[in-house]
Amino acid sequence: MEIQEIKQRFGIIGNSPLLNRAINIANQVAPTDISVLITGESGSGKEVFSHIIHQMSPRKHGPFIAVNCGAIPEGTIDSELFGHEKGAYTGAVGERKGYFETVNGGTIFLDEIAEMPLGTQARLLRVLESGQYIKVGSSKVEKTNVRVIAATNVDVYEAVKNGKFREDLYYRLNTVPLRIPPLRDRKEDVYLLFRKFTSDFTDKYRTPPIQLDEDAQQILINYSWPGNIRQLKNMAEQLAVLERDRIITGQTLLSYIPAEATGRNLPMRLDNQPKEDFSERDILYKVLFDMKRDMVELKKLVADIIEHGGVSVNHATHSQTLNQLYRDIELPGTPDTQFTLQQPVNNNNNSTNPYNITHEAEEVEESLSLIDKESDLIRKALKKHKGKRKLAANELGISERTLYRKIKELNL
């Protein structure tokens, strides 16, 4: 079956190359009995692909069941999957069939497989390798013919290295890896999905159609969508129900986007800032490098004045002024430096340094913590502008919203 036909049959919207590749892999692996591990962020549509694989396989007339492994308590998951005998544990008042027995001849979709306990993983591995399992409280070996499709939103290989997932089960499930792209990697599909969702909800609630102005469209496309398709669908439903003005502006759309979205909130730019897309880290490094360059230039200027006699001042004033200058210049990670000026000496070998400048430098290990530097710069900006956050944000070259978030994160 062609990719476009699969999209129409299962209600998939989008033309992203990454999405088309995922559909093509699902279509190719469906006729086999190979185990498939579907990976992707929460809300990206992993369960839809499990239905594609099942419906396109020879098992399509058999049963299909989706099991969320993370929603079943650890003490009962073995009973849920494999069944139990009467009296197997407290509360087991009768015999119970497990999913692997009831779905015999069909497909079982194990969502959030990384949440499965290690003991249950060993039982699952036996089913995958031999089709055999034992009910809880029984000694009789049962047989089943079930295709297993697993899915997770975490890095399973990292869980293997941390001892939280069996390595042999990982390679058994990962015969064919299938990655579902997040919505932020499908920017060309975002507006299409939004229009589909709003059309469905306006029909459902019998409200007038919704349209986005140009600014709103750009915000919609450029937002990172940490909740993926689920978050986009929820927003479309809210707009369809709550907004009286059916022309949605960018400002209106921003009110539905969380200001804090796990560190991936929508970037904002102040109107009086340059249009280059600098990250906060780039801005901080730029400020630090500029400060260090200014300090080095000031050192050279003062040393040149002293060595060449560019300014006629007495020795005591020189010493006091130079030391005060270096005390006033503070840069995170710069060693504390004290300059001492001695009386001019009549020594031909010392003509280039008539004041005999000596340095008493205390070596201090430089802090490389970006968080410390951020905290220091934000505190200085707030102190300089007497707590006025808008002015402090302008000084730092970041948005006021970002400054609020940083203050909260750093407990300033």
Q: What is the DSSP letter of 86?
A: T
State the Cα–Cα distance between residues 45 and 48, nearest whole angstrom.
Answer: 6
Check residue 58 and give its pLDDT.
94
8 Å CB contact between 164 and 23: no
pLDDT-derived band at 279 (thresholds 50, 70, 90) equals low
Check residue 390 and give its pLDDT.
83
Q: pLDDT per residue over 86-110, tens digit each?
A: 877 777 778 889 999 999 999 999 9
Using DSSP, state whether 56 is helix, strand or coil: coil
Q: Name which residue leads in pLDDT, 158 or 337.
A: 158
133, amino acid identity: Y
Rg of the chain (C-alpha set) = 33
Identify which of 69, 72, 79 has the alpha carbon closest to the alpha carbon of residue 138.
79
Domains and CATH numbers, the chain: 3-181 (3.40.50.300), 189-254 (1.10.8.60), 296-361 (no CATH)
pLDDT-derived band at 259 (thresholds 50, 70, 90) equals low
Average pLDDT, the chain: 80
327 pLDDT above the threshold of 50: yes
Q: pLDDT per residue over 379-409, tens digit each?
A: 888 888 888 888 888 888 888 778 777 787 7
Q: Name which residue leads in pLDDT, 18 or 75.
A: 18
**pTM of the predicted protein model:** 0.60
Identify which of 334, 234, 242 has the alpha carbon closest to the alpha carbon of residue 288.
334
CB contact set of 14 (below 8 Å; sequence gap of 6+)? 7, 186, 188, 189, 192, 193
Check residue 267 and give its pLDDT.
47
Q: Counting every residue, how long is the chain?
A: 412
pLDDT-derived band at 21 (thresholds 50, 70, 90) equals very high
353 pLDDT above the threshold of 70: no
Check residue 313 and give its pLDDT.
45
Phi then psi for residue 152, to 5 deg, are -155, 155
CA 139 to each of CA 81, 135, 238: distance values in angstroms, whole numbers, following the listed order:
16, 8, 54
Q: pLDDT per residue over 285-321, tens digit each?
A: 667 777 777 787 777 777 777 766 554 444 445 455 5
Q: pLDDT per residue over 33-78, tens digit each?
A: 999 999 999 999 999 999 999 999 999 999 999 999 989 988 889 9
Identify which of 17, 125, 1, 99 has the alpha carbon closest to the alpha carbon of residue 53.
1
Q: Which of 7-21, 92-106, 227-241, 259-273 has the lowest mean pLDDT?
A: 259-273
